[in-house]
Amino acid sequence: MEVERDSVSLGTWEFECGEEIPDLEVAYEAYGEFTGDNAVLVTHALTGSQHVAGHDAADATAGQARAWWDDIVGPGKAIDTTEYYVVAANVPGSCYGTTGPPATNPETGEPYGTDFPAVTVGDWTEAQRALLDELGVPHLHAVTGGSVGGMNALEWAKRHPDHVARIAPIGAAARLDPQCLALDSIARRAITTDPDWNDGDYYDGEGAPDHGLGIARQIGHVMYLSKDSMERKFGRRAAGRDAVRSFPTDPAASFFPYREVDSYLDYQAETFVERFDANSYLYLTRAMDNYDLEAGFESDADALAAFEGEAMLMSFTADWHFTVDQAEALAASMRTADVDVAHHVVDSDHGHDAFLVEPEHVGPPLSDFLDSGVDGAAVTDTGGDGDCETASRAPVHSSLFPD
C-alpha cells in the first residue's frame, strides 16, 4: 500500500486560548489517491498518531510500531484505500511530529514544555482543516474516529458543516461525565507530583517523569477495559515466577501474590513511557476533558443544526468510558437537529477498547455507512430496542457480536 508521510508548516498559529506560536507543523499520513470527492479524514484517539495503517515496523511513527487501525484502514478493508483517499493527522499538542510541548520553540531554541499554549479539540479541527487546504482537499466524504477522535469528528460537523458529508464518531460522546473527569484529574496529578516532572522542564536528558506517566497510563487502561474483560483476561491469578515488579513496593508485598493484572498494568506503563511525552499527556487529556459539543450554543442540537449530512454513531455495551446512553443522548440531539443518524450498539464485553480490538464488528457497519450512508448501512434487528424500519431516526441495536 502506497503511503505518503510528510508534514506541513502552517506558519504562525493562534490557538483558541488566544496564544500563538511562530509555526505550527502538522505531521500526517495519506493513503490512496484523491479523485475530488473521496477524501476520508481519520481522527485518532488520545495517545494515537497519524500512523493509522501499515504493519511494517519500518513504517513506525515515533515509536508507535503498529498502526492503530490497520485492521480497518487499507486495501479491501472497511475504509478501503483503493476507493478512498484517507488522511490522518497528528493533533497539535501531541508528540508524534505535530508541534507540541516536546517540539523546539524556534524563538528560544529550547523545547516548549509547559510554555506551549493550551490546546482544544477545536484547535485540532482547525489545524486539520488548514492541512487539508494545503493538500488541496476542499470537502470531505467523511470524518471518522474513536474515543476523543469521535469528539473531533463531531467538532467537524459543528464548525465546518458544509465541508463534510458524513461523520462516524465511534465510542464517543458529546462530553465526558464526572467520573471520567475525576480519573483524568488523578492521572494528571500522578504526572505533576512526580519530582522528575520539574514543572514540565525535563527535556535536558537528566530524567523524565516516567513513574507519574506510567501511573497515568495504568489509570487510563483500567478505564478502557470492562469488568468482564478483566475477569476473562486476568481473574485473580498470580503472575508467573519470572514476572518482575516495575514499581517500588512496601515490604509486606512479598507475602502477597504479584497478580497477572498487576503485571499487565506494569507492562503497559513501561512500554508507554518509551513512546509518549508526559507534558503531551497533560495537554491532550485537558483538551478531551474540556470538550463540550454545545459550547457556544444553547444545546447539542443547536450546535449541529447547520449540519445537513449524515451521521452514524457506534457504541459498545460494556464501555463505561463513553456509554451507550451517552451515545443515544447524542443521537437524540441529532434527530432534534434533523440530522439523518443511525446508532449501532455493539454487544461487546471488551469495554472502551472494543473500537480498536473488534474490527470484525466495527468494520462492516462503518464500510456500509461510508459507501451508502444511513439508508444503505447494514442493520440487523435481533429483538432489541431498535426499530430497523426507522434506522435513520431511532436507535439501532445491531447483531454484531458472535454468540
Mean of all residue pLDDT scores within the chain? 90
302's grid cell: 443547536
In this structure, the number of other CB atoms found within 10 A of the CB of residue 388 comes to 15
- Residue that has been written with the C-alpha cell 470492562 in this structure: 226
d(C-alpha 301, C-alpha 285), whole Å: 25
Catalytic residue among 71, 123, 266, 319: 319
- Residue that has been written with the C-alpha cell 506503563 in this structure: 269
Catalytic residue among 350, 352, 361, 397: 352
For 196, 270, 349, the CA distances from 110, given in Å and listed in that order, are 18, 27, 46
Per-residue pLDDT reduced to its tens digit, 169-214: 999 999 999 999 999 999 999 999 999 999 999 999 888 999 999 9
- Residue that has been written with the C-alpha cell 443544526 in this structure: 305
Catalytic residue among 147, 263, 348, 392: 147
Q: What pLDDT was estimated at residue 384? A: 35
Catalytic residue status for 387? no
pTM: 0.91
Question: CA nearest 191: which of 213, 173, 159?
Answer: 213
276's grid cell: 509518549
Q: What pLDDT was estimated at residue 249? A: 86
3-state SS, residue 335: helix
Amino acid, res. 58:
A
Catalytic residue status for 139? no
Name the residue with higher pLDDT: 246 or 45: 45
Q: Which distant-in-sequence residues (6+ apart) come within 8 Å of 195 by Cβ?
A: 209
d(C-alpha 186, C-alpha 143), whole Å: 31
Pairing mode, strands 110-111 and 73-74: unpaired
Phi-psi region of 49 (alpha: psi -120 to 50; beta: other; left: phi over 0): beta
Question: CA nearest 294: which of 343, 336, 322?
Answer: 336
Q: What pLDDT was estimated at residue 390? A: 29
pLDDT (average), residues 254-283: 94
Judge whether 292 and 174 are in contact, CB under 8 Å: yes
For 15, 20, 23, 127, 230, the CA distances from 12, given in Å and listed in that order, are 10, 7, 5, 12, 46
Helix or strand (DSSP H, E) at 25: strand 25-31
Per-residue pLDDT reduced to its tens digit, 377-391: 544 322 334 333 223
d(C-alpha 155, C-alpha 288), whole Å: 12
3-state SS, residue 234: coil
Q: Which distant-in-sequence residues (6+ apart) come within 8 Å of 307 by Cβ?
A: 157, 158, 161, 167, 337, 339
Q: Counting beta carbons within 10 angstroms of the beta carbon of residue 356, is it exposed (0 to 12), middle (13 to 18) or buried (19 or more)?
A: buried
Judge whether 45 and 147 are in contact, CB under 8 Å: yes
Q: What pLDDT was estimated at residue 259? A: 92
Per-residue pLDDT reduced to its tens digit, 328-365: 999 999 999 999 999 999 999 999 999 999 999 999 99
d(C-alpha 278, C-alpha 188), whole Å: 9
pLDDT (average), residues 281-285: 98
Q: What pLDDT was estimated at residue 366? A: 97
Catalytic residue status for 352? yes
Pairing mode, strands 25-31 and 3-9: antiparallel
Amino acid, res. 152:
N
Q: What pLDDT was estimated at residue 377? A: 57
Question: CA nearest 186: which of 146, 209, 142, 217?
Answer: 217
Q: Which distant-in-sequence residues (6+ apart) come within 8 Å of 287 by Cβ?
A: 93, 119, 120, 121, 123, 124, 148
